[in-house]
């Protein structure tokens, strides 16, 4: 039995070594605080008492109860996307209060503002389309308001990438405090977490292995017990890890559980730190450089993180002026070992990873492979940050010479079925399926009853093709990649098949699923003309995904193909369909990306 107080004490040490000095910084500010408060700044020009034309602005600030003394401080925006429609952000009111305490203590004037936020399960459409909307929402507030710096709170799948896209675009001093992970649940003596274990229990239920009572017990007592991100290295915990790995969140903060007091302490330290970033004029593009993005990709590979980060990191990088491509992920995956035994590719939850040292310790282990000279939002280099990191459980965070897998578990595949590339998470797939040739079974409905009827004839050797689910087709690339298997195969014990799709997959999911096929079916990619029975070849090691049909027949089918009618012709969803780029370009909007970074296919479409 673990010594819980001892574990908490050890875990707290991971973060206190970074936060203690910050939380005591107000005592040492002295003349520095006066310098921050008196320096020429964006906010000073906005509310300068010497300019009579500022009377209206100052009056509106005073109407909220603030004073001339408050208005003499630099204004710091606190972006708080709290929402009752997002349980990952449920605790953000207390986090924002802690951030503001830190800002006040360091001589700043915090003003909190909201933006939209998303939780995938509450929307009737893929929330990827709202990532870009949230980025625009956030960047417009950051750019148009008189903020000298901004602290941004976020936890969930699309929210962290959206805020990083905005930070990279506006390039004002900024720092992120993430919301942390849910606590682990327990079922029959084992730790369980929502989504990854949910998928396993749901499939066992469909297969008749467990009944409704077991499923209800797990729901009520195991999976959904606190606020915060789903407790595995799904997309939400992956993007929080990405924020720390990029250097945009304080070291040691990514893995702290949402309900721990240390999360509040980290928020206050973040409020203090933004004042230093403002004073030193350290901006996001000083931090988010090409070496920083390559560091983040290596952390992604080492932790078995979500394939969705391929899309998000490309979008963020290009906003920051870094031309990241699918080939960068493939190259770095081949030279980065998978060392973190965390679900969905491993055995433990992110709470347990935190007690083992967290992302900070993962990066310490990876240090020989990282560029540790990069600047981070701590104001120090990564090398300086890592001096205090410590692996506390080498069975969870493995040494480089004892990895779970010698490579990073992600491959880019190309071929006649994916000319512009596709992604497969090999660490989440079945080894015997990573090299496979089988006949296509084209999905026409994602309803389980329809799957059972339409696929009653298929075997485990078939390749399920799930199409028209891409950025334009769905729209928004919903996380429907690991589509359900027919019951007759589930009852035979089959739990995985090769599936090929232009959709995405939740970072919490597992299976041999080829994702993000580009070009997608809805814009005329070869996926659109696959027919039942066509042979499909997957060879993940060689990076191959082919439709084994004569090239002239492929061209004949493509020439006869007609695009489907657009699902939306008005409003934001129509704007998304008109402007969204394909997955290899990060699914950003065309008007947000440099013209010379667009693919020839996109430029041709635009003309």
Which helix (H) or strand (E) segment holds residue 142: the answer is: helix 128-144
Residue 103 structure tokens = 């800002």
378 and 237 assigned to the same domain: yes
Give me the percent of the chain exceeding a pLDDT of 90.
71
Residue 248 domain flag: yes
The 10s digit of each residue's pLDDT in 160-202 is 999 999 999 999 999 999 999 888 777 777 777 776 677 777 7
302, β-bridge pairs: none
Residue 441 pLDDT grade (very low, low, confident, very high; cuts 50, 70, 90): very high
Q: Give me the phi and psi of 193, to 5 degrees please.
A: -145, 155
Q: Answer positive or negative: Cα dihedral of 299, 301, 303, 304.
A: positive
Q: How many residues can be counted in the chain?
A: 607
538, β-bridge pairs: 436, 545
Residue 305 structure tokens = 């993180």
| Look-up of token digits 């010479």 | 401
From 552, 568, 584, the end of a domain falls on 568
Q: Which residue has the higher pLDDT, 88 or 366?
A: 366
Give the per-residue pLDDT at 104.
97
- Relative to beta strand 435-442, strand 418-424 is unpaired
- Residue among 327, 310, 321 nearest 586 (CA): 310
Q: What is the DSSP letter of 111?
A: E
Q: Are 545 and 500 in contact (CB under 8 A)?
A: yes
Give the per-residue pLDDT at 211.
83
Q: Answer positive or negative: Cα dihedral of 389, 391, 397, 402.
A: positive
Look at the chain and report how many structural domains it folds into: 3
Residue 329 domain flag: yes
Residues 60 and 586: their CA atoms lie apart, in Å, by 40
Residues 93 and 376: their CA atoms lie apart, in Å, by 26
From 162, 194, 220, the end of a domain falls on 220
Residues 320 and 290: their CA atoms lie apart, in Å, by 9
Residue 589 structure tokens = 């909007």
Q: Where are the beta strands (DSSP E) in 93-248?
A: 109-113, 149-154, 174-178, 185-187, 190-192
377 and 243 assigned to the same domain: yes
459 and 553 assigned to the same domain: yes
349 and 204 assigned to the same domain: no
Looking at every residue in the chain, the average pLDDT score rounds to 89
Residue 146 structure tokens = 């008189």
Give the per-residue pLDDT at 213.
82
Residue 395 pLDDT grade (very low, low, confident, very high; cuts 50, 70, 90): very high
Residues 118 and 179: their CA atoms lie apart, in Å, by 14
Over residues 500-508, the mean pLDDT reads: 91
231 and 346 assigned to the same domain: yes
From 234-248, 515-529, 587-601, the region with the lowest mean pLDDT: 587-601
Residues 43 and 490: their CA atoms lie apart, in Å, by 62
Q: Are 512 and 498 in contact (CB under 8 A)?
A: yes
Residue 602 pLDDT grade (very low, low, confident, very high; cuts 50, 70, 90): low
Q: Are 208 and 214 in contact (CB under 8 A)?
A: no
Residue 371, classified by CB atoms within 10 Å of its CB into exposed (0-12), middle (13-18) or buried (19+), is middle
Three-class SS state of 390: coil
Rg of the chain in Å (alpha carbons) = 24
- Residue among 380, 230, 382 nearest 306 (CA): 230
- Residue among 123, 113, 199 nearest 158 (CA): 123
Give the per-residue pLDDT at 2.
37
353 and 467 assigned to the same domain: no
213 and 249 assigned to the same domain: no
| Look-up of token digits 């300086």 | 384
- Residue among 139, 75, 143 nearest 111 (CA): 75
Over residues 337-348, the mean pLDDT reads: 91
Q: Answer whether residue 5 shows pLDDT above 50.
A: no
Cis previous bond, 475, omega within 30:
yes
From 354, 388, 422, the end of a domain falls on 388
Over residues 404-413, the mean pLDDT reads: 94
Residue 576 domain flag: no
Q: Are 486 and 455 in contact (CB under 8 A)?
A: yes
Over residues 218-234, the mean pLDDT reads: 75
Q: Answer whether residue 604 shows pLDDT above 80.
A: no
Q: Answer positive or negative: Cα dihedral of 266, 270, 273, 275.
A: negative
Residues 474 and 126: their CA atoms lie apart, in Å, by 8
Structural domain for 537, as ranges: 411-568
Residue 486 pLDDT grade (very low, low, confident, very high; cuts 50, 70, 90): very high
Residues 598 and 371: their CA atoms lie apart, in Å, by 28
Give the per-residue pLDDT at 549.
97
Residues 234 and 308: their CA atoms lie apart, in Å, by 9
Q: What is the DSSP letter of 422?
A: E
Q: Answer whether residue 348 shows pLDDT above 80.
A: yes
354 and 205 assigned to the same domain: no
Residue 593 domain flag: no
Q: Are 159 and 240 in contact (CB under 8 A)?
A: no
Residues 330 and 348: their CA atoms lie apart, in Å, by 26
192, β-bridge pairs: 185
- Residue among 126, 115, 125, 129 nearest 589 (CA): 129
SS3 readout for 238-292: HHHHHHHHHCCECCCCCCCECCCHHHHHHHHHHHHHHHHHHHHCCCHHHHCCHHH
Give the per-residue pLDDT at 217.
75
Give the per-residue pLDDT at 599.
66
Q: Answer whether residue 80 shows pLDDT above 70.
A: yes
Three-class SS state of 310: helix
Give the per-residue pLDDT at 109.
96
Residues 106 and 32: their CA atoms lie apart, in Å, by 9
139 and 82 assigned to the same domain: yes
CATH number for the domain spanning 84: value is 3.40.50.2300
200 and 171 assigned to the same domain: no
192 and 270 assigned to the same domain: no
Side-chain half-sphere of 38: how many Cα atoms within 13 Å? 5
Highest mean predicted confidence (pLDDT) among 74-83, 176-185, 482-491: 74-83
Spatial neighbors of 21 by CB under 8 A, at least 6 apart, are none
Q: Are 54 and 46 in contact (CB under 8 A)?
A: yes
CATH number for the domain spanning 552: value is 3.50.30.80
Counting DSSP H helices and E strands in the chain, the numbers are 25, 14
- Relative to beta strand 75-79, strand 109-113 is parallel
The 10s digit of each residue's pLDDT in 119-158 is 877 888 989 999 999 999 999 999 999 999 999 999 988 9
301 and 322 assigned to the same domain: yes
Three-class SS state of 74: coil
- Residue among 117, 185, 116 nearest 156 (CA): 117
Residue 591 structure tokens = 């008007």
Cα separation values, 421 from 297, 320, 325, 462, Å: 18, 23, 10, 22
């Amino acid at each position: 039995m673990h010594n819980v107080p001892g574990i908490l004490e050890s875990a707290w040490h991971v973060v206190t070594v970074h936060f203690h000095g910050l939380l005591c910084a107000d005592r040492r500010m002295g003349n520095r605080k006066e310098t921050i408060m008196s320096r020429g700044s964006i906010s000073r020009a906005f509310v300068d008492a010497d300019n009579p034309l500022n009377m209206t602005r100052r009056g509106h600030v005073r109407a909220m109860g603030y004073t001339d003394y408050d208005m003499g401080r630099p204004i710091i925006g606190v972006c708080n996307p709290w929402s009752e429609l997002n349980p990952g952000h449920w605790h953000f009111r207390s986090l924002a209060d802690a951030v503001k305490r830190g800002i006040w203590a360091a001589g700043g004037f915090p003003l909190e503002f909201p933006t939209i936020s998303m939780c995938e399960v509450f929307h009737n459409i893929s929330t990827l389309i709202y990532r870009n909307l949230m980025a625009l929402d956030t960047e417009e507030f950051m750019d148009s308001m008189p903020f000298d710096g901004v602290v941004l709170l976020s936890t969930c799948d699309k929210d962290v990438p959206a805020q990083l896209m905005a930070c990279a675009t506006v390039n004002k001093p900024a720092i992120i405090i993430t919301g942390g992970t849910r606590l682990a649940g327990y079922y029959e003596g084992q730790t369980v977490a929502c989504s990854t274990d949910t998928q396993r229990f749901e499939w066992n239920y469909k297969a008749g292995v467990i009944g409704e009572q077991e499923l209800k017990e797990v729901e009520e007592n195991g999976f959904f017990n606190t606020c915060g991100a789903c407790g595995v290295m799904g997309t939400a915990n992956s993007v929080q890890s990405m924020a720390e790995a990029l250097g945009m969140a304080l070291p040691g903060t990514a893995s702290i559980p949402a309900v721990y007091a240390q999360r509040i302490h980290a928020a206050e330290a973040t409020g203090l730190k933004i004042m230093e970033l403002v004073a030193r004029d350290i901006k996001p593009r000083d931090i988010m450089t090409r070496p920083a993005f390559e560091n983040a990709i290596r952390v992604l590979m080492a932790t078995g993180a979500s394939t969705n980060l391929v899309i998000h990191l490309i979008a963020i990088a290009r906003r920051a002026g870094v031309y990241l491509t699918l080939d960068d992920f493939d190259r770095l995956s081949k030279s980065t070992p998978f060392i973190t035994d965390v679900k969905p590719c491993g055995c433990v939850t992110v709470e347990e990873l935190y007690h083992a040292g967290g992302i900070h310790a993962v990066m310490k282990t990876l240090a020989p492979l990282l560029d540790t000279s990069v600047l981070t939002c701590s104001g120090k280099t990564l090398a300086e940050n890592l001096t205090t990191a410590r692996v506390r459980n080498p069975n969870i965070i493995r040494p480089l010479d004892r990895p779970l897998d010698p490579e990073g578990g992600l491959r880019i595949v190309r071929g006649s079925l994916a000319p512009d590339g596709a992604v497969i998470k090999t660490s989440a797939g079945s080894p015997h399926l990573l090299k496979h040739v089988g006949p296509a079974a084209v999905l026409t409905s994602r309803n389980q009853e329809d799957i059972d009827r339409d696929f009653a004839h298929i075997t485990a050797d078939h390749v399920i093709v799930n199409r028209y689910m891409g950025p334009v087709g769905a729209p928004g690339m919903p996380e429907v990649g690991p589509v359900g298997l027919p019951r007759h195969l589930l009852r035979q014990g089959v739990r995985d098949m090769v599936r090929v799709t232009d959709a995405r997959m939740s970072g919490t999911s597992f299976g041999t699923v080829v994702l993000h096929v580009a070009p997608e079916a809805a814009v005329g990619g070869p996926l659109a003309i696959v027919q039942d029975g066509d042979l499909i070849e997957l060879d993940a090691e060689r990076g191959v995904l082919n439709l084994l049909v004569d090239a002239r027949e492929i061209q004949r089918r493509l020439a006869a193909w007609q695009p489907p009618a657009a699902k939306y012709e008005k409003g934001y969803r129509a704007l998304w369909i008109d402007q969204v780029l394909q997955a290899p370009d990060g699914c950003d909007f065309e008007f947000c990306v440099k013209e010379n970074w667009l693919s020839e296919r996109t430029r041709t479409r635009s003309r």
